[in-house]
Amino acid sequence: MSLLSVEALDVRHGLLPAVRQVSLTVEEGETVALVGANGAGKTTLLRAIAGANHVHSGRILFEGRDISGVTAHRRVRAGIALVPEGRRLFPGLTVEENLLTARAAGRRGPWTAERVIEAFPMLRPLRRRTARNLSGGEQQATAIGRGLMCNPRLLLLDEVSLGLAPIAVEAVYASLRTVIESGATIVMVEQDLRRALQVAGRIICLLEGRIVLEGRSAELTREQIAEAYFGLRGAGGLERA
């Protein structure tokens, strides 16, 4: 049984379809990257899995249980944590306080504030600094750490590298590899295809709300992904490598 199963999922923004008949599975311990152009439906899909967007039709199964109608906060308690685009930290709270805010909402488990800081060493000298005084990379590290503090079975990361300087992206991904090596299960939205291919075992490409390419990172070429990403001729419909 897969940890996560999405079955024929449709999600709309008003009358506008944003995710169309999407089906996918995620196994425990797997890292999956969702890629695609702006407006492809990646964030909407991630938010639907987290319970932040309403499901129009289809099902979301977590550990075999249909959670399509379960509220977002109950999904957190069940083991699903979303790190949203834009980080959304509490600006007046310190790094450590932001981490601790997730403790009450989450589950018991191995991730503590100290373990998060071990995984993201850039945060150690900053633990008493307020979030508003952090760089973009430091904020992203704090946001991912706050997600881990929920001790999730499934961690959803939206736009990991968006808006970050290259040196900050390098630091965040160095720590993210530590998280992945710990056995975490991750579904991530990433615009940087090179980074996605480096850390994800599987790539799923969306175009206009549909999956148009899916396969193991080691088996997909950049040309295949680029064609699917932009809807170029030759990507043709649903491909599963």
**Is the distance from CB of 91 to CB of 49 less than 8 angstroms?**
no
Token look-up 């024929």 returns 8
The CATH number assigned to the domain holding 89 equals 3.40.50.300
Are the C-beta atoms of 139 and 187 separated by less than 8 Å?
A: no
Which residues on adjacent β-strands are paired with residue 240? 214
> Average pLDDT, stretch 56-65?
97
Q: What is the pLDDT of residues 33-49, one digit of tens each?
A: 999 999 999 999 999 99
Give the pLDDT band (50/70/90) at residue 159. Answer: very high
Residue-wise pLDDT for 82-138, tens only, equals: 999 888 899 999 999 999 999 877 788 999 999 999 999 999 999 999 999 999 999
Kindly state the tokens that stand for 106: 């989450």
Among 181, 105, 191, 202, smallest CA distance to 147 is for: 105
Strand partners, 13: 16
Average pLDDT, the chain: 93
236 pLDDT band, cuts 50/70/90, is very low
Residue 187 · residue 156 · CB < 8 Å: yes
CA dihedral (42, 33, 6, 109) positive or negative: negative
In this predicted model, what pLDDT tens digit does every residue of 119-131 receive, in sequence order?
A: 999 999 999 999 9
pLDDT at 240 > cutoff 70: no
Q: Which two tokens stand for residue 199?
A: 């850390």
Residues 44 and 58 sit within 8 Å (Cβ to Cβ): no
State yes or no: pLDDT of 235 exceeds 80: no
pTM: 0.92
Could you give the CA distance from residue 87 to residue 169 in angstroms, rounded to a whole number? 14
Counting Cβ atoms within 10 Å, is residue 166 exposed (0-12), middle (13-18) or buried (19+)?
exposed
- Contact present, 45 and 203 (Cβ < 8 Å): no
- Domain residues for the domain of 112 are 4-240
Helix (H, G, I), strand (E, B) or coil at 72: helix
- Per-residue pLDDT tens for 194-208? 999 999 999 999 999
The total of structural domains in the chain comes to 1
Residue 17's CB is within 10 A of a number of other CB atoms, namely 17
Measured from the Cβ of residue 13, the count of other Cβ atoms closer than 10 Å reads: 12
Which residues are CB-neighbours of 170 under 8 A, at least 6 positions away?
A: none
Query: How far, in Å, CA of 129 to CA of 127, rounded?
Result: 6
**Region 178-195: what's the mean pLDDT?**
94
